[in-house]
Amino acid sequence: LLDEGKPAINLYNLRIESDLDDKKTGKKYGLGSSAAVTVAAVRALCKWYGLTLTTPELCKLAIIASSLVKKSGSGGDVAASTYGGWVMYRAYNREWLEAEIEMIESGDSSLHKLLRKKWPRFEVKRLKVGAGLRLLVGWTGSPASSAELVGSVKAGVESGDLTAHNPAKTYEDFCVQSEKCVQKIANALENGNIDALLSGFAQNRALLKDLGEITGTLIETPKLTRLIEVADNAGLPAKTSGAGGGDCGIAIARAEDFDAVSARIEEEWQNNGIEALGLKVAEFDESGDLSLIEQRKDDHIEIAYRQYNAQAESGFEHVRFIPNALPQLALNDVDTSVKVFDETTKWDTPLYINAMTGGSKKGENINESLARVAAKTGLAMASGSLSAALKNPRLAETFSVIRRFNPRGFVMANVSAGASAEQAIKAVEILQANALQIHLNAAQELVMSEGDRDFSAWLNNIETIVSALDSMKVPVVVKETGCGMSARDVLRLQNVGVRAVDVGGRGGTNFVAIENARRGRESGYEFLDSWGLTTVESLIDIAQCDEILREQRDSAQMQVFASGGVRTPLDVVRSLRLGASAAGVAGEFLHTLISEGEDALVEQIESWKAQIRVIMALLGCKNIEDLRENSRILIEAKSCAL
């Protein structure tokens, strides 16, 4: 981590304030305060040194830090503090991590490598629990030492005399049963199924009782037993929390029953010397937790930048122009302008900055830079998805900054295909946009643990949005985000009134790979990294579709934009030859902006504009129509066949 960028070691002053102990007695509640402090300190230091880590990397770094000072504990508390909200956690292998750290200390590896490596067994997964379930936390007042407790269980396991207390059970049985039970509880939480939770918690309790017996350890103290029984009597699933042995227990209630039932339980807990702590599970994302939305947006920028590959694989390398040795025109004769949408809008260059960001401070800064670049170069530009601002109006400024710094340019807003017509109109208003992009990203959503799972209303939504915006004279482009579009997709969109698509093909920035990286462990979805049609395959499939061509000849024009792995001005001209009106670029421009700055990006775009003209002159084509009709190409074997 530090060995790559080599930032200078600077002095800092770290002040820690915490509410995670009892104000009267100073006793710790046992809520994982050391993990919380570790995560906060690691996060603060990363910020101090300007290191942008993804959430899984931050979690790993905090686990490394805490494993250096704490010789036991699962790391679950560290993961909970890093991610926030409901998470499912599977512990890392302690011996493996110790060996890895030794390799770093001996100079045979680096922290940087360790953070990017897959850790055996280790998994953190966000659970989509929603607002239907609420948590009650009771504190028994007696502190428990997880380290001692885990040490005692470990000693019991290592003594080799496991069956002395209970000959029928073994530690391995416990591990197998426990794994199944945890999965059952995770499913029950996501489905809001209280009955399944009751049986999952009961099973967990029985398993811990067995573990206590086979290792001679007291996990459920008498007060924790009372805490569970009180909740049980009211029909609520309850369990010890953390390592047990004291401290806290939890109960879970349906949100609609919470007020009625919590008062009763808290009173009874109090009668038994148990203090209700009045805590809530941190909400995230949908419910508007700023830090988590921002983290995701920052992760996207950081990982897209890291995964950037100058050699895209969008199929452009298979498209070769047949040269024209007698161009018969002057460079000055070439006109690269293109009419888009309603034929009254003209772009001087068939190129635009495609949708990227917004929704975090870093996103806002990038939008501000891109807007200045677009204004200077005259390029059209799109914002990233405005979903975050539609959920949380405080984030609107991270998008509207585009209009502030590019008041007269052509700007496109961007929403998801799950958006309503009202949300689409709001998005256009925030940016005073000239057009709206609606993005399709089913593969990305399915790979994201917190992503959408229901796409059944997309086509309907798109139809409603198109018709609402039609009356406002705002054109709509439906775009993919890296998996491409087939002619069949385009026809279906055409049937609901769409008149422009951006194929967003495979081969450039890859959101499936980005989400796989965010999950930080073999997600099981790596096979989707190569899902979809490349940009060139999409363009060819659409260009060869007679039905689209026929409709294009009749009045129902379908305009096609190309994006996905456009990395050179030659790729732009190849896209135009394959039927695109203009080409959109995201990853390439983001890379230049982050690595070399705003001026370098302006310079790059100005060179591309000039080079597009040069290529057209070399082909003897005086305008884009001429290029489409009169230039010839060779396409090497790999074209599409549907």
- CB of residue 299 to ligand FNR, shortest distance in Å: 9
Query: Beta-carbon neighbour count of residue 6 at 10 Å?
Result: 7
537 scored as a contact of ligand FNR (CB under 6 A): no
- State yes or no: residue 370 binds ligand FNR (CB under 6 A): no
Residue among 324, 328, 398 nearest 361 (CA)? 398
Q: Which of residues 390-419 bind ligand FNR (CB under 6 A)?
A: 414
Does 564 sit near ligand FNR (CB under 6 A)? yes
Burial of 502 (0-12, 13-18, 19+ CB in 10 A): buried
Find the residue with minimal CB distance to ligand FNR: 508
**Window contacting ligand FNR (CB under 6 A); options: 16-24, 66-74, 105-113, 478-486:** 478-486
For helices 33-48 and 76-83, angle between their N-to-C axes, nearest 10 degrees: 50
**C-alpha distances out from residue 212 to 157, 179, 227, Å:** 11, 17, 18
Return the beta strands (E) in 155-247 as ranges.
238-240
Q: Provide DSSP, 91-157.
A: ---HHHHHHHHHHHHTTSS-HHHHHHSPPSS-EEEE---GGGEEEEEEE-SS---HHHHHHHHHHHH
Q: C-beta of 515: minimal distance to ligand FNR in Å?
A: 12
Q: How far apart are CA 176 and CA 179, in angstroms?
A: 5
385 binds ligand FNR (CB under 6 A): yes
Residue 356 Cβ vs ligand FNR, minimum distance, rounded to whole Å: 4
Closest to ligand FNR by CB, 395 vs 590, is 590
509 binds ligand FNR (CB under 6 A): yes
One residue of 357, 369, 423, 461 binding ligand FNR per CB under 6 A: 357
Closest distance between ligand FNR and the C-beta of residue 283, in Å?
22
User: Least separation, in Å, of the C-beta of 460 and ligand FNR?
Assistant: 19
CB of 355 to ligand FNR, least distance (A): 4
**What's the min distance (Å) between Cβ of 307 and ligand FNR?**
9
User: Residue 165 contacts by C-beta under 8 Å, 6 or more apart in sequence?
Assistant: 213, 214, 215, 216
Our finding on whether 481 is near ligand FNR (CB under 6 A) is: yes
Q: CA 212: distance to chain centroid? A: 40
Which two tokens mark 38?
Answer: 């570790």
Question: Is 94:118 a contact under the CB 8 Å cutoff?
Answer: no
Q: Does 304 bind ligand FNR (CB under 6 A)?
A: yes
User: Quick one: which of 563, 575, 592, 604 contacts ligand FNR (CB under 6 A)?
Assistant: 563
The helix (run of H) or strand (run of E) holding residue 271 is helix 255-271
Quick one: 66 or 444, whose CB is closer to ligand FNR?
444
Using the minimum distance from each CB to ligand FNR, give the nearer residue, 523 or 563.
563
Q: Are 541 and 533 in contact (CB under 8 A)?
A: yes
CA distance 198 to 201: 5
Stretch that binds ligand FNR, among 108-116, 203-211, 515-523, 582-590 (CB under 6 A): 582-590
**Of the listed pieces 100-108, 339-347, 490-498, 558-566, which binds ligand FNR according to CB under 6 A?**
558-566
Question: Judged by CB under 6 A, does residue 356 bind ligand FNR?
Answer: yes
Residue nearer to ligand FNR on the CB measure, 133 or 542: 542
- Out of 78, 513, 570, 585, name the contact with ligand FNR by CB under 6 A: 585
From the list 126-134, 219-227, 231-239, 559-567, the region that binds ligand FNR by CB under 6 A is: 559-567
Q: CA triplet 482, 584, 448: central angle to 5 degrees? A: 25
**Who contacts 446 (Cβ-Cβ below 8 Å, separation ≥6)?**
453, 525, 528
Q: Which of 246, 504, 520, 532 binds ligand FNR (CB under 6 A)?
A: 504
Per-residue DSSP letter, 378: T
Count of residues touching ligand FNR (by CB under 6 A): 27
Task: State the binding string over 613-642 for ligand FNR (x if CB under 6 A, else -).
Answer: ------------------------------
Determine the Cα–Cα distance for residues 301 and 631; give it in Å rounded to an integer: 37
Asked if 590 is part of the footprint of ligand FNR (rule: CB under 6 A), the reply reads yes
Whose Cβ is closer to ligand FNR: residue 38's or residue 509's? 509
C-alpha dihedral over 25, 31, 35, 36, to 10 degrees?
Answer: -80
Q: By C-beta, is 207 or 576 nearer to ligand FNR?
A: 576
Q: Does 566 bind ligand FNR (CB under 6 A)?
A: yes
- Which residues lie below 8 Å from residue 257, measured CB to CB, with a gap of 6+? none
Residue with token string 């990395």: 567
Tell how strand 351-353 and strand 582-585 pair up: parallel
> With binding defined as CB under 6 A, does residue 298 bind ligand FNR?
no
CA 83 to chain centroid, in Å, comes to 12
Distance separating alpha carbons of residues 495 and 491, to the nearest angstrom: 6
Structure tokens at 55: 């959430």
For ligand FNR, give the closer residue by CB, 55 or 563: 563
Give the interface segment with ligand FNR, choosing from 34-42, 64-72, 287-295, 563-571 (CB under 6 A).
563-571
Determine if 477 is a binding residue for ligand FNR (CB under 6 A): no
The number of beta carbons lying within 10 Å of the beta carbon of residue 485 is 28
261 lines the binding site for ligand FNR (CB under 6 A): no
Residues of this chain that interact with ligand FNR (CB under 6 A) are 300-301, 304, 354-357, 384-385, 414, 437, 439, 479, 481-482, 504, 508-509, 563-566, 585-588, 590
